[in-house]
Amino acid sequence: MAKVEGVDIRPQYHFRKTSTGLWAWDVRRLITLSHSFPVTSVQLQKIDEIDKNHWYFAGAVEPTPRSIIEHADLMDAADLSYPIILDSVGRVMDGMHRVCKAYRLGREHIDAVQFAIDPEPDYVDCDPDELPYD
């Protein structure tokens, strides 16, 4: 765990498939870069990733019952007082467990911050299983 903005955060990454391979952003860096952004309320129904394969498209992880339980545990532990982070077009870069928890609780909105210009990825053409998870 590492402290970001005074909070312990497990090493994690936001992944995106591109024409130059898989890109990865260190979520801890995204939090640091966006911590002073204005917080807005976003309608949950406008978050497209809720109906897409958000967690199981990269690396060796598969949607086994055990991995689904792990995600359910992360949803239960998610703190909705922290805003999710959106990229410049509104895609979730951090906070899908919070989005899922908010849906499960019947909420219609979630707090978010958004990049006007996306930061460069931390890793380009990477293998998720080889990234540091210190």
Total-model pTM: 0.89
State how far the alpha carbon of 70 is from the alpha carbons of 5, 84, 116, in Å: 25, 20, 32
CATH architecture of the domain covering 13-126 = Alpha-Beta Complex (3.90)
Quote the pLDDT of residue 7. 61
Instruction: Report the C-alpha gap between 84 and 76 in whole angstroms.
Output: 16
Instruction: Report the C-alpha gap between 81 and 125 in whole angstroms.
Output: 33
Q: Report residue 64: phi and psi, to 5°.
A: -85, 160
Give tens-digit pLDDT for 39-90.
Answer: 999 999 999 999 998 887 776 778 899 999 999 999 999 999 999 999 999 9
Give tens-digit pLDDT for 87-101.
Answer: 999 999 999 999 999
